[in-house]
């Protein structure tokens, strides 16, 4: 069983908490509420926000790559090997255009017809 705190230390801590400019009381309330000092809480929030944004960007990039991979597989299955011009256009395209091209595969008669959309 731990020893009780030294009464002299407790009273010194009480004087610090009860007196002063209120900053310590404010910090203690923040620690009680969040488990961290205000500066630490802000740093945690900042790190979380950066991680969240990085995760979103990574997810978007992975989705774009997956869509390009799907389009390439569908085109190669339907029309055979693709020339560099088509590969370059797919590599440079953004998601909305890639999605249009994927849908165009259903009824297009040629790769050129798809790339025109």
pLDDT digits (tens, 9 = 90+) for 41-50: 566 666 666 7
20 vs 65, residue with greater confidence: 65
24, 17 contact by CB (below 8 A): yes
The answer to whether residue 100 scores a pLDDT higher than 70 is yes
Q: What's the CA gap between 50 and 45, in Å, rounded? A: 9
Give the separation between CA 4 and CA 9, rounded to whole angstroms: 11
**pLDDT per residue over 1-29, tens digit each?**
556 555 544 455 555 555 555 666 666 66
Q: Which residue has the tokens 């997810």?
A: 59
Residue pointed to by tokens 């230390």: 9
Domain locations in the chain?
60-115
* Confidence band of 55 (pLDDT split at 50, 70, 90): confident
- Position 105 scores a pLDDT of 94
Q: How many CB atoms lie within 10 A of CB 71?
A: 21
């Amino acid at each position: 069983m731990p020893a009780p705190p030294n009464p002299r230390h407790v009273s010194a801590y009480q004087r610090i908490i009860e007196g002063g400019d209120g900053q310590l009381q404010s910090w203690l309330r923040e620690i009680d509420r969040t488990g961290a000092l205000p500066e630490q809480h802000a740093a945690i929030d900042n790190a979380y926000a950066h991680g969240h944004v990085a995760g979103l960007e990574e997810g978007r990039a992975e989705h774009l790559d997956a869509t390009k991979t799907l389009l390439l597989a569908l085109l190669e299955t339907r029309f055979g090997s693709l020339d560099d011009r088509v590969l370059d256009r797919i590599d440079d395209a953004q998601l909305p255009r890639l999605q249009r091209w994927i849908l165009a595969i259903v009824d297009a008669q040629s790769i050129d017809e798809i790339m025109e959309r």
